Structures are given as C-alpha cells and as structure tokens.
Amino acid sequence: MKLTLIFPAFSKACSDSSAADLCTSDCTGKLFICQANCSTNDCNVQCESEFKECTNDCPCGRSCPHHARANTASIRI
C-alpha cells in the first residue's frame, strides 16, 4: 500500500491561520483513517481527493470566500 501525505501551504494573506491549521489537522486525521481502511490504489486516490476537498473548505482554502488560496505539495512514501 502506498501512503501519500499532502501538506497544504496557506497563503500569507490568510486572516485566520489558527482556524486553518485546526481544520487541516482534522482533514489530515480523516485522511489517515481513510487510508488505513484502504487495500487498493483506487481507494487511496479517493482518500486523497476527499482530503483535498476537505482542506479546500477550510479557512484560507481554495473555497475560502476571501480567495486566500492554498497551495498543496504532496510527498509519496
């Protein structure tokens, strides 16, 4: 099984980085639980997609109303 870690890097324009960090931590926990229950690559891809959607909905994410966008970098291990 391949595990992927994705680290969102929020814009310096983010007005509430504490809330963004808490939200991202919650998304990360959900990602780990999802991946722990996967046995196929397709499942892992779905977990990654759900993680990205979750972080996009966090304060300062891509869906942030103030458009303080998040960039993501991923590391495959």
pLDDT digits (tens, 9 = 90+) for 18-72: 888 999 999 999 999 999 999 999 999 999 999 999 999 998 888 876 544 444 4
Q: What is the pTM of this model?
A: 0.67
CA neighbor of 55 nearest in space, from 76, 34, 25: 25
Residue 77 pLDDT exceeds 90 = no
What token pair was written down for 25?
Answer: 């931590």
Residue 7 pLDDT exceeds 80 = no
Measured between alpha carbons, how far is 33 from 35 in angstroms, rounded to an integer? Answer: 6
Measured between alpha carbons, how far is 12 from 43 in angstroms, rounded to an integer? Answer: 33
| pLDDT on residue 65 | 61
Q: Reduced to 3 states, what is the DSSP secondary structure of residue 52? A: helix
∠ Cα 10 64 43 (to 5°): 75
